[in-house]
Amino acid sequence: MANPLIGIFRVKELRERILFTAAMLVVFRIGAVLPIPGINVRELSAYFLSQANSGNPIVDYLDFFAGGAFSNFSVFMLGIMPYISMSIIMQLLLIVFPSLKKISQEEGGRKKIQAWQRYGTVAVCLIQSFAVTQYAQSISRSVENLLSIGIVPFTLIAMLTVTTGTMFLMWIGEQITRRGIGNGISLLIFAGIVARLPQAVWELVGRVRSGDLNLVFVIVVFVMFVAVVALVVFEQQGQRKIPVNYAKRVVGRKMYGAQNTYIPFKINPSGVIPVIFASSILTFPLQIATTVGGNVAWLARVAQVLSPQRTLYNVLYILLIIFFAYFYTQVSLNPIEIAKQIRENGGSIPGIRTERIEEYLTRILNRIVLPGSLYLALIAVIPTFIQWAFNFPSSISYLMGGTSLLILVGVDLDTMSQVEGLLKMHHHSGLTKKGRLRGRNL
């Protein structure tokens, strides 16, 4: 029992959860290489290989979130991003329309909202899948024998296949959350990023050998990579503790004594959610503009302007990260609800009047969220800096910094904390000596 890794597989429940999660991730990776019916895989691979040699940052960016499935034109080429986009839209609608929020608070209302969210995901998938078919048609003009069937049958089959693939991914994510370990949707994004790391490392070695990249620059970037990982871990674990004192109270025939506790406000309460949300919002118009841009001139211009290497994209990216950091924090940590629970349980914050608890908590959250969101935004734009300063290819820089680091570290800490909790529940030692991992509901 001294080795926690052995302890993981000795606990039956934990062993079954880990094996189920691994099996679902294997299914996800198999689907990422299964092409849409009607696509000539050999011609498609040759086309994207030529694009990689000439540089195509937009395709690399879309491939980043799809785990390489986009360039394969696989059944999972849209990834899980349509579902995340629809989740954002539904959260915004709940705030804008009070009637929807009232429905969500009723008995069974949450299931209604989730059902509408799934229907909305289907609509988003149909729009994006139609754009994908237009992109395939634009490629077929320069690549002979790319489509083995007619344009109309291919459009219908591709839309049906890709939409079904995304909905199946959504189901896999829900099953992992329910029967596996960790957050299913986040783990799917995590698995896609990890799956591309070996190829990126091999490409990096090849460019160093050919002299396209300076070895000194590679070492500098690697040191930056390690430093950013350490900073992300440090920032994700940081907390601001708000002390709360509870007076003696009588419940039934029992008297509960006074106790002192605290409310743990994380420095970054929303975790990697703002980065994922901002990326999803920008990916949707970028994918439409890129895929349909070959047929529509002004959409081609939009795709060029929204290129991840352009200034406008990075400015919008930073603003959206800050916005979603505040938005998600207010949704998950509502100061009004927290203050109401404190008062109902006879609690108080030292030095703060009871009627001003909401104001105090709101001020604390605003002071925490602003530097936390700026920190997230700074890390998220690291790939652009690496490309500009060291002339790194986009396929490598996206995986060695910024969004990928935040997602990898955040999801890893969350999953480890869940494993730690299950081990302690079964009276086993944790993964770390002190066992002080703090998870986050991604």
**pLDDT at residue 231, rounded to an integer:** 75
3-class DSSP state of 441:
coil
Judge whether residue 104 has pLDDT over 70.
Answer: yes
Is residue 432's pLDDT more than 60?
A: no
Percent of the chain with pLDDT over 90: 6
Mean pLDDT of 101-117: 83
Specify the higher pLDDT residue, 414 or 432: 414
pLDDT at 373 over 80: yes
Exposed, middle or buried: residue 432 (CB in 10 Å: 0-12, 13-18, 19+)?
exposed
**Has residue 404 got a pLDDT over 90?**
no
Residue 2 has pLDDT above 90, yes or no: no
440, pLDDT greater than 50: no
Give the separation between CA 90 and CA 314, rounded to whole angstroms.
25
Q: Is 312 exposed, middle or buried (0-12, 13-18, 19+ CB in 10 A)?
A: exposed
Where does the pLDDT of residue 352 fall: very low under 50, low under 70, confident under 90, or very high at 90 and above? confident
Alpha-carbon distance 418 to 296, whole Å? 48
Question: What pLDDT does 274 receive?
Answer: 83
- Assign 133 a pLDDT band (cuts: 50, 70, 90): confident
| pLDDT at 439 exceeding the cut of 50 | no
Reply yes or no on whether the pLDDT at 168 is more than 90: yes
Among residues 403, 366, 364, 369, the alpha carbon closest in space to that of 383 is found at 403
pLDDT-based confidence at 244, cuts 50/70/90? Answer: confident
Most confident by average pLDDT, 195-209, 252-266, 313-327: 313-327
pLDDT at position 20: 92
Which whole-number Å values give the CA distances from 250 to 71, 246, 259, 343, in the listed order?
A: 64, 12, 14, 15
Assess contact for 135 and 155: CB atoms under 8 A. no
Highest mean pLDDT among 12-16, 305-309, 328-332: 12-16
In this prediction, residues 135-141 reach a mean pLDDT of 78
Instruction: Give the model's pLDDT for residue 56.
Output: 58
> Can you list the pairs that 215-224 forms with residues at least 24 positions away whose Cβ atoms lie under 8 Å?
217/390, 217/391, 217/392, 220/390, 221/386, 221/390, 221/392, 221/400, 221/401, 224/382, 224/386, 224/401
> Higher confidence at residue 299 or residue 252?
299
Cα separation, 203 vs 182, in Å, equals: 31
| The pLDDT value given to residue 250 | 61
Average the pLDDT over 71-78 and give the result: 85
Q: Is 227 exposed, middle or buried (0-12, 13-18, 19+ CB in 10 A)?
A: exposed
Confidence band of 214 (pLDDT split at 50, 70, 90):
confident
Q: Is the pLDDT of residue 441 over 50?
A: no
pLDDT at 1 (0 to 100): 46
Average pLDDT of the chain is 78
Per cent of the chain over pLDDT 70 is 84
What's the rounded mean pLDDT across residues 105-113?
Answer: 82
User: How does residue 292 score in pLDDT terms, banded at 50, 70 and 90?
Assistant: low
Count helices and strands (H / E) in the chain.
19, 5
Topology annotation, domain 4-425: Preprotein translocase SecY subunit (1.10.3370)
Looking at residue 211, what is its pLDDT? 79
Residue 128 has pLDDT above 80, yes or no: yes
Dihedral sign computed on CA atoms, order 58, 301, 317, 312: positive
User: For residue 163, what pLDDT is reported?
Assistant: 92
Check residues 75 and 261 and name the one with the higher pLDDT: 75
Q: What is the pLDDT of residue 27?
A: 92
**Residues near 183 by beta carbon (within 8 Å), at least 6 away in sequence:** 176, 177, 411, 414, 415, 441, 442
- Tell me what the mean pLDDT of segment 105-130 comes to: 86
Please state the rounded mean pLDDT for residues 346-369: 82
> Where exactly are the structural domains of the chain?
4-425
- Phi, psi for residue 203 in degrees, rounded to 5: -65, -40
